[in-house]
Amino acid sequence: MAVKSSGQLAMTEIVAEFGGDAPHAMSEYYGGGDKVPAGANPNVATSGMTKFGDFYDAVAATVLTISSNTSNYNIKTAAIAAGGDQNTPVILTINNGVTVNSSSNSTPAMKTDTGWGSGTTINITNNGTIIGANGSAGSSGSNSSANPSSGGGTGGNGGGGGCGVSPGSGSAGSAGATGSGSASSSNNGSNGTAGGNAFEHSQTGDNNLSVIFDTAGTRTAGTGGAGGSAGTHSVTGNGGGGGGGGSHEHCYCNTSDNSCNAWDPAGGGGGGAATGSGGTGGSCGAENGSSGSSTSGGQYGRSYRQAAGHNYVCNKGNSGGSGGNLGSAGSAGAGSSFSGGAGGSAGATGNYNGSAGSAGANGSALAGNTGQIS
**What's the pLDDT tens digit per position in 57-113?**
888 888 899 999 999 999 999 999 988 889 889 999 999 999 999 999 999 999 999
DSSP of 221-262, one letter per residue?
PPPPPPPPPPPEEEEPPPPPPPPPPPPEEE----TT-----E
- Residue 216 CB partners (closer than 8 Å, separation 6+): 126
Return the DSSP state at 308: T
Q: Is residue 356 part of a domain?
A: no
Q: Is residue 62 part of a domain?
A: yes
Distances (CA, A) of 187 to 138, 190, 234, 352, 356: 13, 10, 11, 9, 9
My answer on whether 236 and 331 are in the same domain is yes
My answer on whether 90 and 148 are in the same domain is no
Q: Is residue 127 part of a domain?
A: yes
My answer on whether 59 and 114 are in the same domain is yes
Residue 322 to residue 281: CA distance in whole angstroms: 13
Return the pLDDT at 204. Answer: 83
DSSP of 324-360, one letter per residue?
P-TT-PPPPPP-SSSPPPPPPPPPPPEEEE-PPPPPP
CB-based contact 292:273 (threshold 8 Å): yes
My answer on whether 172 and 243 are in the same domain is yes
Closest residue by Cα to residue 367 from 125, 195, 136: 195
My answer on whether 289 and 367 are in the same domain is no
Q: Is residue 204 part of a domain?
A: yes
Domain containing 49 equals 11-136+193-226+361-372
Side-chain-side CA neighbours of 254 within 13 Å: the count stands at 9
List the chain residues with pLDDT less than 50: 251-255, 257-260, 307-314
Residue 245 to residue 169: CA distance in whole angstroms: 7
My answer on whether 50 and 177 are in the same domain is no
pTM comes to: 0.72
Return the pLDDT at 366. Answer: 98
Return the DSSP state at 304: -
- Residue 278 CB partners (closer than 8 Å, separation 6+): 154, 155, 268, 269, 270, 271, 288, 289, 290, 291, 292, 298, 299, 301, 323
Q: What's the pLDDT tens digit per position in 182-224?
A: 999 999 999 999 999 999 999 986 678 999 999 999 999 999 9
Return the pLDDT at 165. Answer: 65
My answer on whether 108 and 182 are in the same domain is no
My answer on whether 291 and 209 are in the same domain is no
My answer on whether 200 and 294 are in the same domain is no
Q: How many domains does the chain have?
A: 2
Return the pLDDT at 258. Answer: 46
Q: Is residue 73 part of a domain?
A: yes
Q: Is residue 349 part of a domain?
A: no
How would you list the strands of the sheet with 199-201, edge to edge? 73-74, 110-111, 199-201, 366-368
My answer on whether 245 and 365 are in the same domain is no
Compute the residue count for the chain: 374
Q: Is residue 4 part of a domain?
A: no
My answer on whether 89 and 118 are in the same domain is yes
Q: Is residue 350 part of a domain?
A: no
| CA 265 and chain centroid, separation | 59
Return the pLDDT at 248. Answer: 76
Taking phi over 0 as left and psi of -120 to 50 as alpha, with beta for the rest, 32 belongs to left
My answer on whether 250 and 303 are in the same domain is yes
